[in-house]
Chains A and B, each alone.
Chain A
Amino acid sequence: MRGWMGKTKVFFVFTLLALFLAGCGIENLTALKPKGYGAEQAMDLIILTTLIMTGVFIVVMVIYVITLVRFRRKKGQEDHIPEQVEGNHKLEVIWTVIPIILVLIIAVPTVLATFDLADDSSADELINVNVKGNQYWWHFEYPGEEVQTSQDLYIPTGERVYLHMLSSDVIHSFWVPSISGKMDVNAENVNTMYIEAYEEGVYWGKCAELCGPSHSLMDFKVIAVSPEEYEQWVDDMQNIDAEAEPETADAQEGQELFEANNCMNCHATDAAASGIEAGPENNGPFGPNLSNFGDRSNVAGVLEHNEENLVDWLMDPESIKPGNQMTGQYPELNQDEAESIAAYLLQLQPSEITPENAGD
């Protein structure tokens, strides 16, 4: 008995230490420090259920430990036959009724929160975004504002933003742990959820439904800025001059190469909303919108945003995101060509509102 207890103690100390070291995770990502409405609702329930369940666990463990200490067979008792108890009606009632009460205590707030988070009665008056999930990137269209963007979703703080989500291929799942729980992005029906960020920040989003080899690389960002900054961002995006010439010669060459290599078949460089809908009959866009590519928080969702990484991506996307749809869609690029295109793309910075405004 003593040996058993000793080992358990060591084990628990080690576990606690490990948890302490690991902390609660990174602020931009963890669900344990909620920064938005959905995440907060979930966290309240997580705490409630954890407390109740820990209470149950403690009761079980107290009975368990006492039993093992008191009733372990001792030397000289080998022939002792304990009383053969059939059961106890009163006890059965107790451990049936108490759990029912506990379950009800959990069930009521769960049901209330479930209906609360599904409430879309005021969606018309608020910001709406059509979200499209693709292998392995995200597209965002703001139908009210007539603009679109990809990978980085800009939202104002303190407001509900309704997301209407549809997939163009397989099932994805939209998850930004620190501001909201997740919802699946299906190909056959639009799923609607809302998110609301309490404070400015760049919140890391993940795809949470297995969608192919690069499932783990289908990251995106939610960039929550102040309502004023959001207004300005929308304004800037609405006023992109698609005809504008890049300033440097390198970037101009890049623009020519961009056009010559048919990149535009899939990638738009202006942000005007196309009105296209996702769904099983995918009619585009087939690649991320690049109108504000220079302001992206990451290259391909996962790499640090710099020219070197962009060149690597352009020259061999397969080595970065296995199974992506861009590989093989354009002629092979040499280093110089890739660098020129990168220079062109990185100067696409139509707005002063960037992830940095959100404190990144």
Chain B
Amino acid sequence: MGMTSAQKSGFGATLWDWLTTVDHKKIGILYLAGGGFFFLLGGLEAVIIRIQLISPENNFISAGLYNEMITMHGTTMIFLAAMPILLGLMNFIMPLQIGARDVAFPFLNSLGFWLFLFGGLLLNLSWFTGAPDAGWTNYAPLSIQSPGHGIDFYIMGLQLSGAGTLMGGINFIVTIVLMRAPGMTYMRMPLFTWTTFVASILILFAFPALTVGLFLMMFDRMFGSAFFDAALGGNAIIWQHLFWIFGHPEVYILILPVFGVFSEVFPTFAKKRLFGYTAMVFATFLIAFLGFMVWAHHMFTVGLGPVANSIFAVATMAIAVPTGIKIFNWLFTLWGGSIKINTAMLWSLAFIPSFTIGGMTGVMLASAVADYQYHDTYFVIGHFHYVIVGGTVFGILAGLHYWWPKMFGRYLHEGLGQLSFWTFFVGFHLTFFIQHFLGLMGMPRRYWVFLENQGLDTGNLISTIGAFFMSFGVIVFLINIIYTTIKGKKASGDAWGSGRTLEWAISSPPVHYNFKQLPLVRGLDPLWIEKTEGNKKVTPAEPLDEIHMPNGSILPFIMTIGFTIASYGFIYQTESKYWLIAVYAGMAIALISMLIRSLKDDHGHHISKEELERVGD
């Protein structure tokens, strides 16, 4: 295993390579592929929802199936699509940006990915027997009372993938703290690295709340406890607190990394350094900090009382300030620049008005009394899709178009890119803008049908038409990926010619050890500095010497299989105690894998100086 596997080899060997890889770039690609798959699944669910709502009292799908559809759409998009795709970008790009050869814990990185993937697959297995149907927020007591095993799949699926995400977050934090190249001080880090760092801190503090909530719910549903059962002295509101203590930082986990993406794309295509770098960094931290202080704005109508509602309302409004700082700094990065507009830039430019609208409605929602009207209506649906599609999805697509040449060595096709952009962009606004009004006109969210003669027909029809446009855009993007993989134009190391950060200083795609010699960072935008001084390469920080790299391992995959079997056993042991065999067997597989990992020394491998010299540049 190891370095030779990159050469042409049979299917079995390739498969083995991907199953065992600990290379952050390959794991990044796995995250992108897995997240992309779930994104298509969640998109299909969205289209089914919109078809059901194309006309009043429609009967395209049944009420029960509809609730499963909305639950799985939300859960899939947040946990299995948006977040993994972002983790994929972080995984691939962040180590390159700080001049590292891998992440701090490559083995853990692999484990994190497989846990995410199998958690997602486990959750989707529920489609065969009945999916969860209590909404992605899974409020008790509806979720406690939900018959069948749908909610159990939700619990175990999210527990697995959540553990994977937590590992990813810890890994990135340690990587950024310990593995920056010589000279890469904190305040020289690219913004995408900064936002990766801050989002990872959010993951570290937010996910445990979800884990705790899921465990309590697991005990309630599987082992007869009553944490959320009011009849037995429990309290269902506790679930809402736990969920949103996780859930609100979660939306910042989704948005901060793409703030980083835009902060890379704008300077590159305006040929101008990021305006107000320091302010951008501090705004990121401020958003993250305030993100933990506002969870109860999801609960204004719960009856927490005027004191709590007022405090959380004002705290929420405060987030508008650092977010505004960011928007204006981006605008002034472009101001005075030499702006080139291509697909990556289109997605980034489209983000500004779209996300600003999402931010506006965010402040509107923060006004607690107004929220008594907005809450749980299509206004909220409109708001968070403006933030998560207009922010996160646009950012992901900007990032993919921007870094595609770096990751795969080929440019995505520009014409197809613009076609998919325009159809998706127009479809997005058609779908979601009108929903603000639908909500205020009296349409609550999660409605299987809306009734005739309630004035909601036109708005819903427009919204559904928009969803078809968005679907078309996604399909064109898929065609673009296939086309690019086969015939795409090859990219050089500095693919856009105006790259500023370290990832553009190495070949596209990078060799598996990234940097033959670790770079010496002499300031913000190290590659740009070298280029302005007429240097073709970044100054190395070390003489050419042998490189130490980690070995691949199949253990993370086996461990994950073990945990998945155990999870499946937990779900079904309520029916028959024989399923406990699966619990014990699965845990045994996982624990034995851990034992092997602990006892077997693996010092990795070295790439000799001779080989590095042979490769040349």
Instruction: Mark A residues whose CB is within 8 Å of B.
Output: 7, 11, 14-15, 18-19, 21-26, 29-32, 38-39, 41-43, 45-46, 49-50, 53-54, 56-57, 60-61, 63-64, 67-68, 71-73, 77, 80-88, 91-92, 95-96, 99-100, 102-103, 106-107, 110-111, 113-115, 117-118, 169-171, 173, 175, 177-178, 180-184, 186-189, 191, 204, 206-217, 219, 279-281, 302, 322-323
B179 at interface (Cβ–Cβ under 8 A)? no
B331 touches A42 (CB 8 A): no
Within the complex, the shortest CB–CB distance from A211 to chain B, in Å, comes to 6
B442 touches A117 (CB 8 A): no
**How far, in angstroms, from A60 to B334 measured CA to CA in the complex?**
13
Query: 5 tightest A-B contacts by CB?
Result: A181-B372, A25-B441, A280-B231, A29-B442, A216-B447
Contact for B277 among A25, A86, A170, CB less than 8 A: A86
Residues in A whose Cβ lies below 8 Å from that of B205? none
Interface residues in B371-409 by Cβ distance below 8 A to A read: 371-373, 375-377
Contact for B357 among A30, A57, A186, CB less than 8 A: A57
Interface residues in B228-282 by Cβ distance below 8 A to A read: 229-231, 235-237, 270-273, 275-279
**How far, in angstroms, from A88 to B440 measured CA to CA in the complex?**
41
Within the complex, the shortest CB–CB distance from A290 to chain B, in Å, comes to 23
B357: nearest residue on chain A (CB-CB)?
A57
B376 touches A173 (CB 8 A): yes
Residues in A whose Cβ lies below 8 Å from that of B459? 18, 22
B141 touches A170 (CB 8 A): yes
A-B contact pairs, 18 of them (CB 8 A): A22-B455, A23-B455, A25-B442, A26-B442, A26-B454, A30-B455, A42-B373, A46-B367, A53-B360, A86-B273, A106-B317, A107-B314, A186-B237, A187-B141, A191-B303, A209-B376, A215-B448, A217-B449
- Given contacts A32-B440, A175-B444, whether A118 and B306 have CB atoms under 8 Å apart is yes
B338 touches A95 (CB 8 A): no
B142 at interface (Cβ–Cβ under 8 A)? yes
Within the complex, the shortest CB–CB distance from B335 to chain A, in Å, comes to 5
**How far, in angstroms, from A43 to B371 measured CA to CA in the complex?**
10
**How far, in angstroms, from A39 to B369 measured CA to CA in the complex?**
9
Within the complex, the shortest CB–CB distance from B73 to chain A, in Å, comes to 13
A207 touches B310 (CB 8 A): no
**How far, in angstroms, from A187 to B140 measured CA to CA in the complex?**
10
- Given contacts A210-B142, A216-B448, whether A110 and B376 have CB atoms under 8 Å apart is no
A107: nearest residue on chain B (CB-CB)?
B314
A169 touches B145 (CB 8 A): yes
A188 touches B273 (CB 8 A): no
A210 touches B338 (CB 8 A): no
A323 touches B134 (CB 8 A): no
Residues in B whose Cβ lies below 8 Å from that of A61? 353
- Give 1 or 0 for each of B278-317: 1 = CB within 8 Å of chain A CB: 1100000000000000000000011101100110011001
Instruction: Mark B residues whose CB is within 8 Å of A.
Output: 62-64, 66-67, 133-135, 139, 141-142, 145, 229-231, 235-237, 270-273, 275-279, 301-303, 305-306, 309-310, 313-314, 317-318, 320-321, 324-325, 327-329, 331-332, 334-341, 349, 352-353, 356-357, 360-361, 363-364, 366-373, 375-377, 422, 426, 429-430, 433-434, 437, 440-442, 444-451, 453-456, 458-459, 462, 532
A92 touches B279 (CB 8 A): yes
Within the complex, the shortest CB–CB distance from A306 to chain B, in Å, comes to 15
Within the complex, the shortest CB–CB distance from B175 to chain A, in Å, comes to 28
B455 touches A15 (CB 8 A): no
B446 touches A210 (CB 8 A): yes
A215 touches B230 (CB 8 A): no
**How far, in angstroms, from A263 to B147 measured CA to CA in the complex?**
26
Contact for B275 among A38, A87, A208, CB less than 8 A: A87
**How far, in angstroms, from A195 to B85 measured CA to CA in the complex?**
46
Contact for B453 among A26, A95, A211, CB less than 8 A: A26
**How far, in angstroms, from A98 to B462 measured CA to CA in the complex?**
37
- Given contacts A64-B352, A96-B321, whether A71 and B270 have CB atoms under 8 Å apart is yes
Residues in B whose Cβ lies below 8 Å from that of A115? 306, 310
Contact for B441 among A29, A39, A45, A184, CB less than 8 A: A29
Contact for B142 among A30, A171, A178, CB less than 8 A: A171
B370 touches A45 (CB 8 A): yes
Contact for A25 among B305, B327, B368, B455, CB less than 8 A: B455
**How far, in angstroms, from A68 to B145 measured CA to CA in the complex?**
55
A31 touches B442 (CB 8 A): yes
A188 touches B301 (CB 8 A): no
**B301, B331, B336, B458: residue with the most chain A Cβ atoms closer than 10 Å:** B301
A117: nearest residue on chain B (CB-CB)?
B369
Within the complex, the shortest CB–CB distance from B284 to chain A, in Å, comes to 14
- Given contacts A25-B440, A42-B372, whether A71 and B356 have CB atoms under 8 Å apart is no
B440 touches A31 (CB 8 A): yes
Residues in A whose Cβ lies below 8 Å from that of B133? 213
A91 touches B303 (CB 8 A): no
B314 touches A18 (CB 8 A): no
A188 touches B336 (CB 8 A): no
B426 touches A7 (CB 8 A): yes
A191: nearest residue on chain B (CB-CB)?
B303
Residues in B whose Cβ lies below 8 Å from that of A31? 373, 440-442
**A53, A115, A173: residue with the most chain B Cβ atoms closer than 10 Å:** A53
A18 touches B303 (CB 8 A): no
A110 touches B442 (CB 8 A): no
Residues in A whose Cβ lies below 8 Å from that of B332? 85, 88, 91
**How far, in angstroms, from A175 to B440 measured CA to CA in the complex?**
12
Contact for A110 among B67, B310, B318, B433, CB less than 8 A: B310
**How far, in angstroms, from A39 to B441 measured CA to CA in the complex?**
12
- Given contacts A72-B341, A111-B310, A181-B369, whether A170 and B231 have CB atoms under 8 Å apart is no
Contact for A103 among B236, B320, B339, CB less than 8 A: B320
Contact for A99 among B62, B324, B335, B373, CB less than 8 A: B324
B313 touches A206 (CB 8 A): no
B360 touches A184 (CB 8 A): no
B305 touches A118 (CB 8 A): yes
**How far, in angstroms, from A269 to B358 measured CA to CA in the complex?**
50
**How far, in angstroms, from A184 to B141 measured CA to CA in the complex?**
13
**How far, in angstroms, from A211 to B329 measured CA to CA in the complex?**
44
List 13 extra interface pairs beyond A49-B364, A64-B352, A186-B236, CB under 8 A.
Answer: A7-B426, A22-B441, A25-B437, A42-B372, A45-B367, A45-B370, A46-B373, A73-B339, A92-B279, A96-B321, A110-B370, A169-B145, A213-B64
Contact for B364 among A50, A72, A210, CB less than 8 A: A50
B328: nearest residue on chain A (CB-CB)?
A95
B376 touches A67 (CB 8 A): no
Contact for A60 among B272, B318, B353, B450, CB less than 8 A: B353
Contact for B447 among A26, A114, A184, A215, CB less than 8 A: A215
**How far, in angstroms, from A60 to B328 measured CA to CA in the complex?**
8
